[in-house]
A and B are shown apart, each in its own frame.
Chain A
Amino acid sequence: MSEEVQIDQEVYDRLIAGGTSERIARAKAKAASVRKAKIAEGQTLGPRPAEQASQALEQFRSSQGSGGGGVATKTAADDAGTSGGRLTPEERSARVAASLGGGNGDASIGVPTSGQHTHRLLALVPPAGIQQVQSKQMDKVYTWPHLLLVEFVALLAVGSLLLVASFFLDAPLGSLANPNEVPAINKAPWYFMGLQELLRYFHPMVAGVTLPGVAVVLLMAIPYLDKNPSARPENRKVANLAFTFFMTFWGILVIIGSFLRGAGYEWVWPWTQGLGFTL
């Protein structure tokens, strides 16, 4: 049937020259000739205005029951705001009935012609349909018991360790401070020992302000310096190196300050004057 349609040679040549494939160019050229013929007949092409659709619907409504019709199709929505852009179920079934030949109710075609609404049943979805497992989920564990059990055991272990340590180690508050009697060994808490150790080597301005300031600035700059997006520890060379360097450096200072400094904050070996460490 499609062979009867003449192709528009001008359109065809233009499309072929433009690099369009032969098949598509042929189809478009055929469409162009059909369009031309329709325009020559005085038909208007393109989407029809909403009023026209509303008029067609009103016409159908007024002529309802006197035959006519065609296949029930969607009627264009009424942008003009008139009463019916959409067929009511009764109208639609009337239109179907009309299209089937005056609504003689022939049951053999399988469509009720009375005021019943017809829809095609696509499928009934049985329970098996949604219980299907496509692939096994491998990387999912629940917080309880997998995480909380481990955390609870860790809590018990650390708690008992602290209990035993507090039983054997004394941590007295000591006597009231006397400004006239300065103790021979005066140290900061262990976590400040690194800082106190630095004071031994540098001017207080440098040890107390500059160096910690530089450390804090470097800490803040880490996201800008180390842009490695990997979340795998083995790939984070810079981060690992920076952390290891800082912890080693600070750890050594804390150990020296805690254990190797005696009276007057002088260097002493533990085997000469004992461990210079007080809680």
Chain B
Amino acid sequence: MGKTDKGEHPLMFDDYVVQQVDPQWLQERVKPKRHIGLTPELCILCRACEDVCPWECIYMMSPNIVKDADSPSLMTLASQSHAVFIIDDNECTRCAICVERCPSDALWLGRVDG
């Protein structure tokens, strides 16, 4: 996580609980209705997206930050992963600079479907 222009670091947590969010709610709640997504098979963990994000809202974290999850299978997946990508949709303006920067086309901008 880089520094913001103000020299502030956004607050990070180490006790995330992964919950299923209704995609329908997400579409209605947040405008525009497009979201940043990531295809994990293509990700090379270069963290370029983190680097270029002007709002500092996308970040790659250790799987250790996930304390609990809705389903055991998701928890297992989280504990076996190399990284956890998290985005703050409230901060994200969908400028898609991260999508352009991504060298392996792992990031995309589109609708989140259920």
Contacts and interface: CB of A to CB of B under 8 A. Distances in A.
Interface of A: 71-74, 77, 85-86, 88-89, 92, 96, 108-112, 116-117, 119-130, 132
Given A74-B55, A86-B8, A125-B43, A110 B87 contact: no
A131 B19 CA distance: 28
Contacts of A85: 6
* Of listed A89, A92, A96, A124, residue having the most chain B CB within 10 A: A124
Interface pairs A-B: 4 shortest CB-CB: A122-B85, A123-B38, A124-B81, A110-B21
Contacts of A73: 90
Contact of B80 (A92, A112, A126): A126
Given A123-B85, A130-B43, A117 B90 contact: no
A129 B41 contact: yes
17 contacts: A108-B22, A110-B21, A111-B21, A120-B86, A120-B89, A121-B84, A121-B85, A122-B36, A122-B86, A123-B38, A125-B38, A125-B83, A125-B84, A128-B41, A129-B40, A129-B41, A130-B82
* Of listed B25, B36, B78, B90, residue having the most chain A CB within 10 A: B90
B1 interface: no
Contacts of B8: 86
A251 to B, nearest CB: 54
B82 A122 contact: no
* Of listed B5, B42, B58, B93, residue having the most chain A CB within 10 A: B42
A50 to B, nearest CB: 12
A118 to B, nearest CB: 8
B87 A120 contact: yes
B43 A129 contact: yes
B6 A123 contact: no
B71 interface: no
Interface size class on chain B is 35 or more
Contacts of A130: 43-45, 82
Contacts of B19: 110, 112
A152 to B, nearest CB: 38
A126 B44 CA distance: 10
A126 B81 contact: yes
